[in-house]
Amino acid sequence: MDWKDPNIAKKYKPGEAMTGPFARPLIKQAGLDDSLSPTSGEKLVTLDNACGTGILTVHLYDMLPDHAKGRINHTCGDISQGMIDLVQSRIKEAGWKGATTKILDAQKMDIPSNTFTHVLTNFGFVGLPDPSLVLREWHRVLQPGGTCGFTVWESVGWFSPVEAAVKSLDGPKFPTWTEFCKAFSTTDDAWEERSFFERGVEAVGFEDMRVESFENRTKHASAREFCELYGMMCRVITEKFWSEEEKGKYGPLLEPAIEKALQERFGEGEFSLDWKAWIITAKKPVEKN
C-alpha cells in the first residue's frame, strides 16, 4: 500500500463501517468513557496511533464525558500525509477541543518519553512492518501507569467470499489467513495469533493485560454496492500475492467474480457479513520509589 498516495484517505474511508464499531469497545476497555471520574482532575494525554482516517478519534470524542473533554490533549498520528489532512479537516469540522495531528512513524516516534496517559491503535498494529518495535515505542512514550490498547482481526467478513471469487478464476493464488496477515510485515512473526501477541506485550514490560473478543455484523445493500465501496480493500490480495502477469490477466475479472460469489452466497438483495476481533489493553508499570 502506498501511504504517500494523496488519495489514500479517500480509498480507506469506506472501511470505517467495518473498523469503527470495534473502536468503541477498545475505548471503553481503556477507561476513556463515562467510567472516568469527574473529580480526579487527571490530565488526559492521548494518542490515536496509526490513526488512518481518524475513526477511533470520532468515537473517542463521542464517548468521552463532558468533564473529560475539557482536560484532554489528544494527538492523531499517522505516517501518511493524506490521512493527516483528512483528520485535520475532521477536527476542524467537529470542533474537537484539544485535538491535534502529527506525522508519526509508529515504529520510531518523534515524541518524548513518558508523554501519554493512553496510546490506542485501531487495526493498524498487525499491518505495521515490525509490531515489536511499535510495542517498545508505546512503552517508551507512555507515562508510568499509562494504558496501551489495540485491536487485532480474528476474522473479516469479506475473506471467505473473496476466496471463493479468486478460486473461481482458476489461476492466481489466494493466501491463507496467516499469509494475508503477514503481507504488510517485514517479519515472520505471528502477531495475528492471540498467544503470540500476548507474549509480545508482556515481553516489553506491560502488565495487567486484558484480552476480550468482540463481534460485529455489517449490512450491505447488494453485492454490487459492496464491490463499488470496498473493492479497493479486496484488491490488496492482487497487490501482495499476484504476479504482474496475473494482475493483467485476472485483475479485470476479480470484481465481477466477487459480485458473483456474493450473489451466489447471499442472493440478489441485502446481506450481512460477520467480523470478529481481539480487543487488547495493558498498562505500563508504575515506577516504584
In a domain, 72, yes or no: yes
Whole-structure pTM value? 0.92
Distance CA 86, CA 101 (A): 10
Residue pair 238/254 in contact by the 8 Å Cβ criterion: yes
Distance CA 3, CA 272 (A): 30
In a domain, 250, yes or no: no
pLDDT of residue 40: 76
End-to-end CA distance of the chain: 46
Query: What residues contact residue 245 under an 8 Å CB cut-off, 6+ apart?
Result: none
In a domain, 30, yes or no: yes
Domain tally, the chain:
1
We report the CATH number of the domain holding residue 108 as 3.40.50.150
pLDDT of residue 100: 98
In a domain, 33, yes or no: yes
In a domain, 115, yes or no: yes
pLDDT of residue 3: 44
Query: What residues contact residue 27 under an 8 Å CB cut-off, 6+ apart?
Result: 33, 56, 59, 60, 63, 120, 149
Residue pair 260/284 in contact by the 8 Å Cβ criterion: no
In a domain, 224, yes or no: no
- pLDDT by residue for the chain (289 residues), tens digit each? 444 555 545 555 677 889 999 999 999 999 999 999 887 778 999 999 999 999 999 999 999 999 999 999 999 999 999 999 999 999 999 999 999 999 999 999 999 999 999 999 999 888 888 999 999 999 999 999 999 999 999 999 999 999 999 999 988 989 999 998 888 778 888 899 999 999 999 999 999 999 999 999 999 999 999 988 777 777 788 888 999 999 999 999 999 999 999 999 999 999 999 999 999 999 999 976 4
Distances (CA, A) of 116 to 72, 78, 146: 11, 16, 7
In the numeric block, which cell numbers belong to residue 280?
487488547
In a domain, 126, yes or no: yes
Strand ranges for 5-134 from DSSP E: 44-49, 72-78, 99-103, 116-121
pLDDT of residue 10: 56
In a domain, 147, yes or no: yes
Q: Domain range spanning residue 42?
A: 8-155+185-217+274-283
Give the H/E segment covering residue 216: strand 207-220
